[in-house]
Structure 1
C-alpha cells in the first residue's frame, strides 16, 4: 500500500533532481516539509545546481546514475523519476546513455519503488506524441513517432519508460503514475541548454537576432516552470495512474514567442532564420482537460508574465557574471 496521498513530511526520492525541473521540484518539496533525497550524476546540470541543493533544508544529495544506482533509503513514500537528458543537445550527445536511462534506469527505480511500497511518478514527455497528426494532443492519442529518427533516443526512451511503469502496475500492483510534460521554461535554465527559450532570451539580451529554425510558423505551448511543478505534485499527491498531460493549452507560433522576447528585452535585432530541425513537430499543444478534471490543475502564469520573469532572471545572471569577471580582473591586476 502506497503511503502517498497528500503533502507533508514524507520521504521523497527525486531522480534527476539537479536538472532544471528537478531543482524547482526539490525546492518546492523542501519548503512544504518533505524530506528529499536527490539522485543525480550532474552530467547535464547547471553550474549552480550543487550549491542550490546544498542550501535547501531537508535535502540530501546522492551522486550517482540511475542505471547503476547508489544506496538509497530503504523506506520511501514517493519516488519522482525525472532522470533523463531533456535538452535535444544533451540527448543527441549521448543517445545510448539516454536510452539506458529510460530503460535500465526506469527499471531500477521501479524496483526500488515496488520494494518500499512507494508511489512512483514518471516524468514522461510530449515527445511520445511525435509530430502529431491529431490536435490538440489528448492522452488517448498514440502518437506519430519515428523509432529510428534523429530524436528517437529520447522519444523511445520515454515511451519504453511508460510501458515499464504500466507493466509494473499490472503485474506487481505498484502504485505508478505517468505525467506527460510539455515544453516548460523559466528561471534556472542553462544558457547553453539548446532549447528555444534560453536561446531566444540570451540572443535578445545580447542584442543579437533571435535564431529561428525553419519558418517559425510551427507552434509550441510553453508552460511556466512553477505551473509544471504544481502539476507534477498534484499528480504525486493523487491516486491517479495517468497518463496525464501537464502543459499550457495556449498555442503560439515560434515567431510570436521570438517577438515577445525581443519586446521584453527591448531588442530591435529581429530574428535570423536557420534550417529546420529534423523531425521538428509542426504543432504542439496539449489537451489538459484530464488534468483539470482529475487534479483540479490548470496553468496560471501567462506567457507574457512567464517570459518576463525568465528574461529578468537571465539578465540578473548576466550582471552577476560581469561583476564576477570584473572582480577577477581586479584581483589579477593587484596580485
Structure 2
C-alpha cells in the first residue's frame, strides 16, 4: 500500500472506506442505544402490593402504640418527691415494699401493684457493709439479703459478733471477711455502706477510734472511687456535741469539745463527713451522709454503756438502773428497723445529705427508766450517779428534710419497740424462752 493508506487499529476484521478525496479513513464507530427493560405487569403489581402492605402495617402499629397507656419513663429521670411519698406508705419494718415500689417506678413498670414485665427485674447489686456483723449492720444485711442483693460483710469483730450474721452462712449471696478497714481492701462492688466504728462510750474510750474514722473512711472512699460505687457514711448526732440549738437541724454546725474524752468519736465523725464531701466535690464520687440518733433493738451489745441497753440489762438482772446527773437530760430513741429503712432510702435516693435519722420523740432519762420499769419490772430501782464529762443535755432530731426528700419517718414507738429488745436481752442473758414476750414481739 501507499503512504496515503491509514490503518484503523481496532483490528483487521473491520473494513475500511474511502473518503471523498480518495484517501482511506477508518470506518466510524456507531453507538448503539438500547431501551431500558421494564418489568412485566404482574411484577409491577406485586411490588405495589408489597408497598401497600408495609404502609398499612406501620399505620396499625402507630395506632396501637398511641392507644397503649403511657406508663414508661426514661430510666435516667429521677423519681419525684411526690412519687417517693406515695410509695412511702408501703414501708413496713422488716419489709422491702418501699424499695420494690421505687424500683418499679424508676424502671417504668407502671403501678406498684402490677406485675413486673419479664426481663425487667431490678439489677442484683453487689453491696459491701463495713461493720456488718454489728448491731445496726447485721439488721441492714438482713434487709439487703431479703431484697435479693449479694452482700459482703467486712468486720474486725471488735464490737461485732459472728452470731449476728451466722444465719446467712451457706447462702451463696453472702460473704464474710474478717478485716480492719484501716487497711486497704480491694473489692468489686456497686454500693458501700460504711458503718465500721465503735459507737458506745465504753468501747471508744477504751480504744480511741479516730484512726478508724479517718483512715478507714479514706480507704472506703478510695475503693468507691476506683470501682465507681455509691458510698454511704453513717455519721452520728454526736457531731452536734452539746447543742445550743434545739431540736437540731442539719444546717447546725454543732458545739463540740475537740479535746474532750468523747472527741475521738465526735471529731472523728466530723472529719469523716469532711472527707466524704471532699471526695464528692473533688473526685465526683457519689456519696450519702446519714446522721444517726440513739438507736435500740435486738443484737445490741449488752453492757455497752448506752442508756437503753444499760437500763434493760440492769432491770433484767434485778440491779439498780444507773441514772447519771439529775436524769433530766433528754434523748430520742428509734427502733433499729426504722433506721435501716432510712439508710436504704437514703442510699437509693438522689440526695447527698446530710440527713438526720432519728425519732423526734423526746424522753428524759427518768422517763426512759419509767418505760423500762413498766416493761420489765415495776419494782426496778433507780440509782443516781455523777454525770459524765461532755454529756449532752438535750438531743432531739429535726427530721423535716428526711420526711420531705426521702419520704421517711420512724414508725415504731418506744413502748412498742422496747419489748422486742427485752425479749432478745432476756434470751442472751439467761438463755430462757418466754412465750409471752415472744408473742408481744410478734404483735409489735
Fold equivalence (TM over 0.5): yes
2:194 paired residue number: 81
Q: 1: distance between equivalents of 2:138 and 2:171?
A: 10
1:212 paired residue number: 323
Q: 2: distance between equivalents of 1:307 and 1:69?
A: 38
2:358 paired residue number: 247
Q: 1: distance between equivalents of 2:357 and 2:171?
A: 26
2:229 paired residue number: 118
2:111 paired residue number: none
Q: 2: distance between equivalents of 1:60 and 1:235?
A: 24
Change (3 A) 1:94 1:52: farther
**Cα distance per residue 1:92-149 (max 9 Å; x no partner):** 0111xx1111101100100100111111000000000000000000000000000001
Q: 2: distance between equivalents of 1:56 and 1:129?
A: 40
**Cα distance per residue 1:256-312 (max 9 Å; x no partner):** 011100110024022001110110000000000000011000000011001121112
**4+ aligned runs moved over 6 Å, structure 1:** none
Q: Is 1:302 matched up with 2:409?
A: no
Match for residue 37 of structure 1 among 142, 148, 152: 152
Q: Is 1:59 matched up with 2:170?
A: no
Q: Is the 8 A contact 1:207 1:268 kept in 2?
A: no
Q: Is the 8 A contact 1:210 1:269 kept in 2?
A: yes
Using the TM superposition, give the Cα deviation of residue 207 of structure 1 relative to its aligned residue in structure 2, in angstroms: 1.8
**Cα distance per residue 1:72-95 (max 9 Å; x no partner):** 422x11101001111111100111
Match for residue 141 of structure 1 among 238, 252, 256: 252
Match for residue 335 of structure 2 among 217, 220, 224: 224
Match for residue 196 of structure 1 among 289, 307, 317: 307
Q: Is 1:13 matched up with 2:136?
A: no
262-271 or 33-42: bigger deviation: 262-271
Root-mean-square deviation (Å): 2.0
2:90 paired residue number: none
Change (3 A) 1:264 1:100: same
2:431 paired residue number: 320
2:119 paired residue number: none
Using the TM superposition, give the Cα deviation of residue 205 of structure 1 relative to its aligned residue in structure 2, in angstroms: 1.1
2:240 paired residue number: 129
Match for residue 259 of structure 1 among 360, 367, 370: 370
Q: SS state of the match for residue 48, structure 1?
A: helix
TM-score computed with the length of structure 1 as normaliser = 0.90
Using the TM superposition, give the Cα deviation of residue 53 of structure 1 relative to its aligned residue in structure 2, in angstroms: 4.7
1:327 paired residue number: none
Aligned residues: 317
Unmatched tracts of structure 1, length 5 or more: 323-335
Q: 2: distance between equivalents of 1:218 and 1:261?
A: 17
Q: Is the 8 A contact 2:133 2:162 kept in 1?
A: no
2:138 paired residue number: 23
Larger Rg: 1 or 2? Answer: 2
The correspondence of residues 97-116 of structure 1 with structure 2, limited to 5 A, is: 98-116=209-227
Q: Is the 8 A contact 1:102 1:160 kept in 2?
A: yes
Change (3 A) 1:46 1:73: closer
